[in-house]
């Protein structure tokens, strides 16, 4: 569901800047990954769902090649550039580079379109691991796709966003975030094969809430160790002689353990075991097998903590605290790139209030941070708001 107060403010902001009501409004959601962490750039499997927190873009087409953009959430910072294949990065506005990168990479594909006046806003928590950047990339791509009837699919919008983030922004993210933001569906998770891009909708049980807990330990993918982890995975695949870690079984990895440096082995062990857990979790979710789901999510978190070394103590505290409440009735784990950010929990609706109370009673005293809790629904992917 779209937040109506945000939508109203967006329209008013657009009119204030450009002197008229916007012609159209588009959105793209953030996402939470239920299981399958750091498997996407290893050609593996992920199980995310789009959430009901979005990037919104109010827009009116132009007859020239100029893009004028306003970032409402950054004190109405502005950017202006011309559409071409030689768009350069902005020197000091990161949000501008996501917009510029998406537009440039659409042009590099040979697509022809005009400029636009746009105001951008949203409520996807930034720096929390819920893919505010992918949401922005997909929202911009979907805006131009539908505004100018470009001959590309939603999957193409996702791939273009990933390409822009990899090559223009400089973060080697996988395809998961953009794909679920573009192609998610209400009441479903999306099992995604990151090599073939084949997707399968996985119905979410009606009796489970999706709870996201932002630890408020800030993180940043570009300048974190994300790229280092990716390089270690690629090193493991090269030593093992496979195209990607997707192509080796856990048994084969164990048999080849002596070939790998110890830290590289542990990185690979996380990815290979996480792929297996993700496929099993999709089945468990479909079958409402909560005991199996709980076990798989717990093992996923332990693997991220011990093998991939991307959790932090406040995140571990949240997982330990809420796992005592949820037990075998759902599941809980860190979600996102790591080094802070969010925890995702699947739990019965009637457990939510107690879980929030328990966390609020102890988290700040134990960690010094204040947690934010979001109760979400699996939501539709990118599109126009009518």
Known catalytic residues are 177
The rounded distance, in Å, linking the Cα atoms of 334 and 227 is 19
The rounded distance, in Å, linking the Cα atoms of 278 and 342 is 19
Phi–psi pair at 210, nearest 5 degrees: -100, 110
Helix (H, G, I), strand (E, B) or coil at 300: helix
Lookup: tokens for 336: 């996102």
The rounded distance, in Å, linking the Cα atoms of 33 and 212 is 10
Collect all residues with Cβ–Cβ distance below 8 Å to 140 and sequence separation of at least 6: 57, 98, 99, 102, 103, 161
The rounded distance, in Å, linking the Cα atoms of 140 and 56 is 9
The rounded distance, in Å, linking the Cα atoms of 265 and 263 is 5
From the list 95, 86, 152, 149, the residue with the least C-alpha distance to 122 is 95
Which whole-number Å values give the CA distances from 100 to 137, 150, 160, 302, 384, in the listed order?
A: 10, 18, 12, 38, 21
- Gyration radius from the chain CA atoms: 21
The rounded distance, in Å, linking the Cα atoms of 335 and 49 is 12
Cβ 343 vs Cβ 374: under 8 Å? no
Is the Cα torsion angle 81, 87, 90, 91 positive or negative in sign? negative
Cβ 267 vs Cβ 236: under 8 Å? yes
């Amino acid at each position: 569901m779209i937040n109506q107060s945000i939508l109203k403010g967006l329209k008013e902001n657009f009119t204030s800047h450009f002197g008229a009501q916007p012609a159209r409004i588009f959105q793209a959601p953030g996402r939470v990954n239920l299981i399958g962490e750091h498997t996407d750039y290893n050609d593996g499997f992920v199980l995310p769902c789009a959430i009901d927190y979005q990037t919104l873009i109010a827009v009116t087409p132009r007859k020239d090649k100029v893009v004028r953009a306003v970032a409402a959430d950054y004190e109405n910072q502005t950017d202006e550039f011309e559409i071409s294949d030689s768009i350069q990065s902005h020197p000091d506005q990161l949000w501008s580079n996501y917009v510029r990168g998406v537009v440039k990479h659409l042009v590099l594909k040979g697509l022809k379109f005009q400029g636009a006046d746009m105001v951008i806003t949203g409520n996807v928590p930034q720096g929390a691991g819920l893919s505010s950047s992918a949401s922005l990339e997909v929202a911009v791509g979907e805006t131009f796709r539908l505004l100018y009837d470009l001959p590309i699919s939603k999957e193409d919008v996702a791939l273009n966003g990933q390409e822009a983030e990899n090559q223009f922004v400089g973060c080697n993210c996988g395809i998961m975030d953009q794909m679920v933001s573009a192609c998610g569906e209400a009441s479903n998770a999306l099992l995604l094969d990151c090599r073939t891009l084949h997707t399968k909708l996985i119905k979410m049980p009606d009796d489970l809430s999706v709870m996201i807990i932002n630890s408020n330990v800030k993180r940043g993918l570009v300048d974190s160790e994300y790229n280092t982890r990716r390089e270690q995975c690629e090193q493991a695949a090269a030593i093992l002689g496979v195209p990607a870690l997707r192509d080796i079984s856990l048994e084969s990895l164990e048999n080849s353990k002596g070939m790998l440096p110890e830290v590289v082995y542990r990185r690979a062990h996380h990815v290979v075991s996480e792929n297996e857990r993700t496929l099993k979790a999709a089945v468990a979710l479909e079958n409402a097998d909560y005991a199996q789901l709980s076990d798989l999510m717990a093992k996923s978190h332990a693997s991220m903590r011990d093998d991939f070394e991307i959790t932090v103590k406040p995140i571990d505290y949240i997982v330990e605290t809420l796992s005592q409440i949820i037990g075998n009735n759902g599941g809980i784990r860190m979600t996102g790139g790591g080094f802070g950010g969010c925890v995702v929990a699947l739990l019965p609706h009637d457990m939510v209030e107690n879980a929030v109370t328990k966390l609020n009673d102890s988290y700040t005293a134990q960690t010094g941070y204040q947690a934010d809790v979001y109760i979400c629904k699996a939501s539709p992917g990118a599109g126009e708001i009518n």
